Amino acid sequence: MTIVDIHTHVYPPAYMDLLRSRDTVPYVRTFPPSTEERLIILPGEDSSNSSTARGRPIGPEYYDFSYKIAFMDQHKIDISVVSLANPWLDFLPPSEAAETAMLINDDMDASCGLYPGRLYAFGTLPLSASVEEITEEIRRLKGMPWIRGVVMGTSGLGNGLDDERLNPVYEALEETGQTMFLHPHYGLPTEVYGPRASEYGHVLPLALGFPLETTIAVARLILSGVFDKYPGLTLLLAHSGGTLPFLAGRLESVIAHDAHLKDTNTAPKRSIWDVLSKNLILDAVVYSSVGLKAAVDVAGADRVLFGTDHPFFPPLEGEEDQPWLSVTTNYKAINDSFGLERGIAEGVLGDNAVRLLNLGFG
Ligand code: 5CU
């Protein structure tokens, strides 16, 4: 059995340099008297007075590939498909984006090459650059031995993923057969968490804001007809598609009852179920059997892939040497759901990823 982790992040050294050079979000710095570096990336994290709410500690597990391999060995993971973590290059001025993307992508590909067959990567796109520069990078990534697609947030060129200016990007991804790993970062407007939000650490934005952001982004994509236009486009959705598996029926029903869509003949032509089973792949980073079974029900047992979200969600202080709860919970959900149906479990744990992402040697 091969175990593949398709949701696992790094901030390669070139990106760390960038974060250390900044003093607005996203950035990395120490807060004296502590000498520990902290990573501040999420909207709103900067304003907190509490040291444990101000981002998170960042150490070599975030940027040193040998730590990734050690983590994989500890958790019996054979192959990882690493991706740059949020917020990718979204914040860069247009003039720097294309060159930085090339630097980071070359770095990722070369780092994977140091561990042949154990590491692959999703490349990153210079989304603040021109569409021509973005599509050029997509085509360049296709020629790299260890790259298997791209990682992207939900903001696209600034107006979200249903922006028609992104059509050449979707076309280039479809044409080159590269998967787009869609990952949240921006969450929901902070007001929705209410005046007591700071008392609850990162729980509301991470547990709910992230998956709802993904759900809304994919719903907008479906509504815009992108999957009618690009039937070969493949998206891998983080966190099992957010709440999409649960809400797909409601989305489909509301579309069917919408007079405006009917009058303007603008309803998506393909059903959500068809898109789910042909264009969407869901990760298994959902931490429960209930969520995992829903993901398999809607996308199919052959389109759900194991992931860890490493190096996020590490053990809390005092438990650093233990297997990571965030990983064992996902293993347990797979075992509890499909322990008796080994074909399904083995598919989710690794075989699906090997097949869908073509993880033979580079
Ligand atoms: O803990 C966090 O903030 C995160 C994050 O930013 N990105 C991610 O993928 N997981 C957790």
Task: Look at ligand 1, atom 7, and give the residue with the nearest C-alpha.
Answer: 86
**Where in the chain are the domains?**
4-356
DSSP letter assigned to residue 349: I
Pocket perturbation via mutation, ligand 1, pick of 6, 208, 309, 324 by most ligand atoms within 8 A of CB: 309
Q: Which atom of ligand 1 is nearest to the CA of 9?
A: 9
CA of 55 to the centre of ligand 1 (A): 10
| From 185, 206, 283, 327, mutation site for ligand 1 pocket: most ligand atoms within 8 A of C-beta | 206
- What's the gap in Å between 59 CA and the centre of ligand 1? 15
The confidence score (pLDDT) of residue 48 equals 62
Ligand 1 centroid to residue 312 C-alpha, Å: 6
Chain Cα centroid distance, residue 216: 15
Query: How far, in Å, from the CA of 56 to the mean position of ligand 1?
Result: 9
Q: How far is the CA of 324 from the centre of ligand 1 (A)?
A: 15
Tokens 């990734």 belong to residue: 68
CB-based contacts of 202, cutoff 8 Å, min separation 6: 42, 53
Residue with tokens 């993904």: 214
Residues with CB under 6 A from ligand 1: 9, 41-42, 56, 85-86, 202, 206, 309, 312
Structure tokens that stand for 221 in this block: 């994509």
Q: Two tokens at 166?
A: 């992104």
Gap between the Cα atoms of 292 and 277, Å rounded = 15
Query: In the numeric block, which tokens belong to residue 361?
Result: 């040697």
d(CA 104, CA 99): 9
Q: Kindly report the protein residue whose alpha carbon is nearest to atom 11 of ligand 1.
A: 312
Place domain 4-356 in its CATH homologous superfamily: Metal-dependent hydrolases (3.20.20.140)
Residues 6+ apart with CB under 8 A from 69: 115, 118, 119
Of the candidates 281, 295, 162, 154, the one whose C-alpha atom is nearest the C-alpha of residue 214 is 154
pLDDT of residue 229: 98
Q: Return the SS3 of 182.
A: strand
Q: Ligand 1: distance of its center to the CA of 309 in Å?
A: 8
Cα distance between residue 283 and residue 242, in whole Å: 10
Contacts of residue 96, Cβ cutoff 8 Å, sequence gap at least 6? none
CA–CA separation, 8 and 19 (whole Å): 19
Task: Please report, in tens digits, the pLDDT of each residue of the chain (362 residues total).
Answer: 999 999 999 999 999 999 999 999 999 999 888 899 999 998 778 776 565 557 899 999 999 999 999 999 999 999 999 999 999 999 999 999 999 999 999 999 999 999 999 999 999 999 999 999 999 999 999 999 999 999 999 999 999 999 999 999 999 999 999 999 999 999 999 999 999 998 999 999 999 999 999 999 999 999 999 999 999 999 999 999 999 999 999 999 999 999 999 999 999 999 999 999 999 999 999 999 999 999 999 999 999 999 999 999 999 877 778 999 999 999 999 999 998 788 999 999 999 999 999 998 65
Q: What is the ipTM of this complex?
A: 0.94
State in Å, rounded, how far the first CA of the chain is from the last one.
20
For residues 108 and 149, what is the distance between their CA atoms, to the nearest angstrom? 12
pLDDT of residue 362: 56
Q: How far is CA 75 from CA 138, 311, 320, 323, 343, in A?
A: 32, 13, 14, 7, 21
Provide the pLDDT for residue 223.
98
